[in-house]
């Protein structure tokens, strides 16, 4: 009996042990299954995110130019600039772990740069609108403010007409009015970009891309070209510079400095009054030999000899067509934002004769006429491809209408 009792005791202990073992095994199996499920979910989510990320740019072979994993910039304070910039990135669907210091830095610059434009515009607008619903009178005020910010008559008319229509249909609160205004402004800026079929301008791999920078003296062509060289070589495009502004002796030297900074070679001809087309000819030869992705061409911009200038540009284009018929040529008009409506006039006359494909707006830092970007989109019908907000090598980025409009209408 005792033995039996003992063995019962033993068996129950054994059972308990086995039960525990089984439970542990089950638990382990369940854990493993759960982990697998989690991993699968994560993989699916990643795939979905990637799809999302590429869906907009699916017609592009390449991603927009950016400073890849640049860690030269130091993280600043956790302040209002940081918060605003992070919010703008979040609103575009960026995940917390995808935000870079560089992006924060740029958005901070952009918002500060547009401060002067905002001062005579948004601050007043917000004061006038307050929290009250929009009225026909506040629309008249808005109209004046938009014109004053160099937004242009056409764009202003469009925006005011849409707002008036909305106002006739429903009560529009102040905050909602601003939101609607932002959407309308974005529509205007995005229209030529959509029409071009390219959301971003980036060199197409496997071909020679030639970007001509044109525009009158002093708008920032050479500086912009230097920044572009840096941006594109940082984005792993093999880049070369052609110094085809042969009128200004200093232009070649200025370009060489930029070339050194970004580690990009400059093709030039030092003899006075060298033929710009001949410089481009040499540069294309070098670009082909070196298998370059992008050739950036600096051009002269003397307005008083405009006809010559146009002849010169078409001669450069003929050379490119002849030597590299399958090259992708972009003629980018460089415009100084601080010149406001004056710059717009230049843009129109250039657009007529120079067969432009895009615009680059410079000097948005400290200009009170940043609104002119809207007029460029609406009245000259050019997609804005890059914007510059400073004299430094990193003060140029691909244009992003969302960020631009947010910075233009930022509240503080």
| Integer Cα distance of 230 and 97 in angstroms | 26
Which region among 17-25, 146-154, 250-258, 403-411 touches Mg ion (by CB under 5 A)? 250-258
Among 85, 222, 224, 262, binds Mg ion (CB under 5 A): 222
Q: What is the CA radius of gyration of the chain?
A: 29
> 294: which 2 tokens?
């992008």
Is 368 a binding residue for Mg ion by CB under 5 A? The answer is no
Q: How far is the CB of 249 from Mg ion (least distance, A)?
A: 11
Closest CA to 399 of 56, 61, 66: 66
Choose from ligand GDP, Mg ion, none: what does 300 bind? Cβ within 5-8 Å by kind. Answer: none
CB–CB of 301/349 below 8 Å? Answer: no
Give the nearest residue (CB) to Mg ion.
Answer: 222
Q: Is 392 left (phi over 0), alpha (psi -120 to 50) or beta?
A: beta
Which of 55, 273 has the CB closer to Mg ion?
273
Neighbouring-strand partners of residue 386: 360, 398
Which of 160, 251 has the CB closer to ligand GDP?
251
Which of 155, 299 has the CB closer to ligand GDP?
299
SS3 assignment, position 329: strand
Which of 96, 250 has the CB closer to Mg ion?
250
Q: How far is the CB of 217 from ligand GDP (least distance, A)?
A: 5
Q: How far is the CB of 343 from ligand GDP (least distance, A)?
A: 12
Q: How far is the CB of 250 from Mg ion (least distance, A)?
A: 9
SS3 assignment, position 384: strand
> 332: which 2 tokens?
């980018």
Which of 192, 220 has the CB closer to Mg ion?
220
The C-alpha angle with vertex 403 and arms to 398 and 409, in degrees rounded to 5, equals 140
Q: How many helices (H) and strands (E) does the chain have?
A: 15, 8
Closest CA to 256 of 245, 241, 271: 241
Binding site for ligand GDP (CB under 6 A): 215, 217-223, 301, 362-363, 365, 388-391, 395
Q: How far is the CB of 164 from Mg ion (least distance, A)?
A: 44
Which of 129, 356 has the CB closer to Mg ion?
356
Which of 112, 207 has the CB closer to ligand GDP?
112
Number of residues lying near Mg ion (CB under 5 A): 3
Q: How far is CA 174 from the centre of its chain?
A: 29
Q: How far is the CB of 104 from ligand GDP (least distance, A)?
A: 19
Neighbouring-strand partners of residue 335: 361
Q: How far is the CB of 339 from ligand GDP (least distance, A)?
A: 11
| Integer Cα distance of 206 and 209 in angstroms | 9
Closest CA to 280 of 310, 246, 330: 246
| Integer Cα distance of 173 and 192 in angstroms | 30
Choose from Mg ion, ligand GDP, none: what does 177 bind? Cβ within 5-8 Å by kind. Answer: none
Which region among 62-70, 120-128, 219-227, 357-365 touches Mg ion (by CB under 5 A)? 219-227
The C-alpha angle with vertex 264 and arms to 259 and 265, in degrees rounded to 5, equals 85
Choose from ligand GDP, Mg ion, none: what does 138 bind? Cβ within 5-8 Å by kind. Answer: none
The pattern of x and - marking residues 320 through 339 that bind Mg ion according to CB under 5 A reads --------------------
Q: How far is the CB of 396 from Mg ion (least distance, A)?
A: 15
Choose from ligand GDP, Mg ion, none: what does 358 bind? Cβ within 5-8 Å by kind. Answer: none
Which of 184, 245 has the CB closer to ligand GDP?
245
CB–CB of 235/65 below 8 Å? Answer: yes
Phi and psi for 250 in degrees, rounded to 5?
Answer: -75, -15
Which of 301, 358 has the CB closer to Mg ion?
301
Q: How far is the CB of 45 from Mg ion (least distance, A)?
A: 48
Q: How far is the CB of 364 from ligand GDP (least distance, A)?
A: 7
Torsion of CA 349, 389, 279, 289, to 10 degrees: -130
| Integer Cα distance of 193 and 161 in angstroms | 22
Place of tokens 């006809």: 307
Judged by the rule CB under 5 A, the positions of this chain that interact with Mg ion are 221-222, 251
């Amino acid at each position: 009996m005792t033995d039996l009792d003992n063995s019962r005791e033993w068996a129950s202990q054994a059972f308990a042990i086995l039960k525990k073992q089984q439970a542990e095994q089950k638990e382990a199996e369940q854990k493993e299954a759960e982990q697998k499920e989690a991993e699968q979910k994560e993989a699916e989510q990643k795939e979905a995110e990637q799809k999302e990320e590429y869906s907009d740019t699916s017609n592009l072979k390449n991603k927009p130019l950016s400073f890849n994993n640049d860690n030269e910039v130091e993280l600043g304070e956790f302040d209002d600039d940081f918060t605003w910039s992070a919010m703008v990135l979040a609103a575009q669907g960026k995940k917390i772990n995808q935000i870079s210091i560089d992006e924060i830095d740029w958005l901070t610059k952009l918002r500060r740069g547009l401060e002067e434009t905002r001062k005579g515009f948004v601050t007043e607008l917000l004061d006038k609108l307050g929290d009250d619903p929009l009225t026909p009178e506040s629309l008249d005020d808005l109209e004046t403010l938009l014109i004053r910010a160099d937004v242009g008559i056409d764009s202003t008319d469009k925006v005011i007409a849409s707002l008036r229509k909305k106002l006739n249909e429903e009560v529009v609160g102040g905050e909602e009015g601003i939101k609607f205004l932002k959407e309308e402004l974005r529509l205007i800026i995005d229209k030529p970009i959509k029409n071009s079929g390219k959301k971003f301008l980036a060199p197409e791999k496997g071909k020679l891309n030639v970007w001509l920078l044109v525009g009158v003296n002093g708008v920032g062509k050479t500086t912009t070209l230097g920044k572009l060289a840096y941006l594109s070589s940082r984005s792993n495009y093999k880049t070369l510079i052609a110094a085809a502004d042969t009128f200004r002796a200093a232009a070649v030297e200025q370009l060489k400095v930029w070339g050194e900074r970004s580690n990009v070679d400059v093709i030039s001809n030092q003899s006075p009054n060298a033929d710009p087309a001949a410089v481009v000819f040499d540069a294309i030869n070098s670009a082909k030999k070196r298998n370059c992705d992008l050739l950036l061409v600096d051009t002269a911009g003397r307005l008083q000899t405009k006809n010559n200038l146009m002849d010169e540009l078409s001669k450069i284009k003929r050379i490119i067509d002849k030597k590299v018929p399958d090259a992708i040529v972009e003629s980018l008009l460089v415009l100084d934002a601080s010149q406001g409506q004056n710059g717009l006039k230049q843009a129109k006359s250039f657009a007529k004769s120079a067969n432009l494909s895009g615009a680059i707006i410079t000097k948005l830092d400290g200009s009170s006429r940043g609104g002119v970007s809207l007029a460029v989109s609406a009245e000259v019908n050019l997609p804005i491809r890059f914007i510059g907000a400073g004299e430094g090598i990193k003060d140029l980025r691909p244009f992003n209408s969302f960020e631009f409009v947010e910075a233009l209408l930022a509240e503080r």
